């Protein structure tokens, strides 16, 4: 299945301060606040929603296509992604811009001071899905990105009759009530966590039943309580796979989506897809960062079968 992933591409600059920010904030001098923290470590990790989900799909042998904007500093990351089997032909480099960058400084209490610079992501709305070369995609994922771009891709999928999964997540506060409703209406599926599902209902005024009528299915992830799949006439709750340890929750939602989509690309039933998402999420939780985990399809299938029953379907992943 030709899956096109739209969403942010970013670099994460992660720093650690070996002290406590609160010890250096003078409440009586806030009007001339001036602070600089000498940090003891910094890593630059390539990330962003679309590459994170793509990474997980490649672990299953899929070759997803990214459709997004990145800056002049992206070239090295493109090689890495291509090396892993991601089709980067749909990524447009924006001259004179940096790739979207997230700068986060964390102290010993896990307090964080962060800034996000959208950079090239701000140009994502200039891209048109109609300009994608080759056959039209069989499925488009619309994940957090420049809000104008998300609105445009929804409209273009509808115009061209391309099934899309609406995954507005972190960008819900930046979309208007009408834009959210437009995104939902006619989507193949809605993909959100529990809190976001509440926000979507609140903002659009739609009930769970009305959302079920508008989409083929909805997937709502519930953190350590698992996930829920709503279809028009039935629903199912999928329990979690308890990870061996929780090292870092970053990227767990993206890992779930990657596992889910790889099942979906095989045409498997939604429960099996969500179970695959659950297992991929457990792998992600055990390692640092959204792309720190890894597994071969055979390892994945063995682990899956410790918890769930696929009636032999996952054999297809191994051959
Ligand atoms: N503590 C946990 N133990 C086991 N599995 C978990 C845990 N937390 C999350 N998961 C798995 O990951 C899935 C997605 O988690 P969650 O609902 O927290 O996503 P999210 O809030 O979108 O995460 P993100 O912060 O990455 O955006 C869950 O449905 C579950 O399968
Ligand atoms: Mg999320």
b/e per residue 240-252 (b: at least 16 CB within 10 A):
bbebeeeeeebbb
226 lines ligand 1 (CB under 6 A): yes
Residue 183 has pLDDT above 90, yes or no: yes
Using one digit for the tens of pLDDT, what is the confidence trace for 80-129? 899 999 999 999 999 999 999 999 999 999 899 999 999 999 999 999 99
Residue having the nearest C-alpha atom to atom 18 of ligand 1: 223
Average pLDDT over residues 35-58: 95
- Provide the whole-model pTM: 0.94
240 lines ligand 1 (CB under 6 A): yes
pLDDT of residue 76: 85
Question: How far, in Å, CA of 68 to CA of 26, rounded?
Answer: 42
Structural domain containing residue 86: 3-8+48-99+120-309
pLDDT of residue 113: 94
Using one digit for the tens of pLDDT, what is the confidence trace for 218-231? 999 999 999 999 99
For 137-222, list the strands marked E by DSSP: 139-142, 164-166, 189-193, 217-221
Average pLDDT over residues 178-203: 98
For residue 277, the CA-to-ligand 1 centroid distance in Å is 10
Q: Within a domain: residue 257?
A: yes
* CATH number for 223: 3.40.1190.20
The percent helix, strand, coil of the chain (3-state, each to 5) is 45, 20, 35
pLDDT of residue 285: 97
Using one digit for the tens of pLDDT, what is the confidence trace for 239-261? 999 999 999 898 999 999 999 99
Using one digit for the tens of pLDDT, what is the confidence trace for 231-240? 999 999 999 9
282 lines ligand 1 (CB under 6 A): yes
Question: How far, in Å, CA of 150 to CA of 157, rounded?
Answer: 11
Q: Grade residue 319 by pLDDT with cuts at 50, 70 and 90.
A: confident
Residue 16's DSSP bridge partners are 41, 106
CA distances from 46 to 9, 167, 236, 262, 274 (A): 8, 21, 35, 22, 26
Strands 112-117 vs 227-231: parallel, antiparallel or unpaired: unpaired
Query: 77, 88 in Cβ contact below 8 A?
Result: no
The pocket of ion ligand 2, defined by CB under 5 A, consists of 169, 253
Query: Best substitution site from 225, 253, 286 to test ligand 1's pocket, by max atoms within 8 Å of Cβ?
Result: 253
Using one digit for the tens of pLDDT, what is the confidence trace for 294-312? 999 999 999 999 999 999 9
Q: Within a domain: residue 293?
A: yes
Question: How far, in Å, CA of 257 to CA of 139, rounded?
Answer: 14
Query: Cα torsion for 167, 171, 174, 179, to the nearest 10°?
Result: 0
pLDDT of residue 208: 97
Q: Within a domain: residue 244?
A: yes
Residue 28 has pLDDT above 90, yes or no: yes
Residue having the nearest C-alpha atom to atom 28 of ligand 1: 223
Q: Within a domain: residue 17?
A: no
Question: Which range among 42-46, 149-153, 222-226 shows the weakest confidence by mean pLDDT?
Answer: 42-46
The number of distinct structural domains making up the chain is 1
Q: Within a domain: residue 258?
A: yes
pLDDT of residue 296: 98
256 lines ligand 1 (CB under 6 A): yes
Q: Within a domain: residue 34?
A: no
pLDDT of residue 61: 96
Q: Within a domain: residue 59?
A: yes
Query: Best substitution site from 225, 281, 308 to test ligand 1's pocket, by max atoms within 8 Å of Cβ?
Result: 281
pLDDT of residue 110: 87
The ligand minimizing its distance to the Cα of 260 is 1
For residue 306, the CA-to-ligand 1 centroid distance in Å is 20
Q: Grade residue 24 by pLDDT with cuts at 50, 70 and 90.
A: very high
Q: Within a domain: residue 36?
A: no
The ligand minimizing its distance to the Cα of 168 is 2
Average pLDDT over residues 211-215: 96
pLDDT of residue 157: 98
> Residue 254 catalytic?
yes
- Copy the structure tokens of residue 275: 């179970």
What value does the CA radius of gyration of the chain take, rounded to a whole number of Å? Answer: 20
For residue 35, the CA-to-ligand 1 centroid distance in Å is 35
253 lines ligand 1 (CB under 6 A): yes
């Amino acid at each position: 299945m030709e899956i096109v992933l739209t969403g942010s591409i970013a670099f994460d600059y992660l720093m650690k301060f070996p002290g406590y920010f609160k010890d250096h904030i003078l409440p009586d001098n806030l009007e001339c606040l001036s602070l600089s923290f000498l940090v003891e470590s910094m890593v630059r990790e390539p990330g962003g929603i679309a590459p994170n989900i793509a990474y997980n799909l490649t672990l299953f042998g899929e070759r997803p296509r990214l459709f997004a904007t990145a800056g002049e500093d992206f070239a090295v990351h493109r090689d890495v992604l291509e090396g892993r089997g991601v089709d980067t032909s749909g990524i447009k480099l924006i001259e004179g811009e940096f790739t979207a960058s997230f700068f986060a400084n964390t102290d010993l209490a896990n307090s964080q001071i962060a800034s996000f610079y959208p950079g090239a992501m701000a140009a994502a709305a200039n891209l048109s899905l109609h300009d994608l070369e080759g056959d039209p995609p069989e499925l488009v994922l619309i994940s957090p990105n420049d809000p104008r771009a998300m609105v445009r891709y929804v409209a273009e999928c509808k115009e061209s009759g391309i099934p899309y999964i609406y995954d507005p997540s972190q960008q819900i506060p930046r979309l208007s009530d009408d834009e959210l409703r437009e995104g939902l209406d006619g989507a193949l599926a809605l993909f959100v966590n529990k809190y976001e599902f509440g926000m979507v209902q609140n903002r659009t005024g739609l009930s769970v039943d009305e959302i079920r009528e508008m989409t083929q299915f909805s997937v709502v992830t519930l953190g350590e309580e698992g996930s829920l799949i709503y279809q028009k006439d039935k629903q199912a709750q999928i329990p979690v796979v308890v990870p061996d340890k929780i090292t870092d929750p970053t990227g767990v939602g993206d890992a779930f989506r990657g596992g889910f989509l790889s099942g979906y690309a095989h045409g498997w039933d939604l429960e099996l897809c969500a179970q695959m998402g659950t297992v991929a999420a457990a792998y992600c939780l055990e390692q640092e960062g959204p792309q720190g985990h890894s597994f071969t399809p055979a390892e994945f299938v063995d682990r899956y079968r410790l918890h769930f029953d696929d009636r032999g379907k996952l054999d297809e992943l191994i051959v």
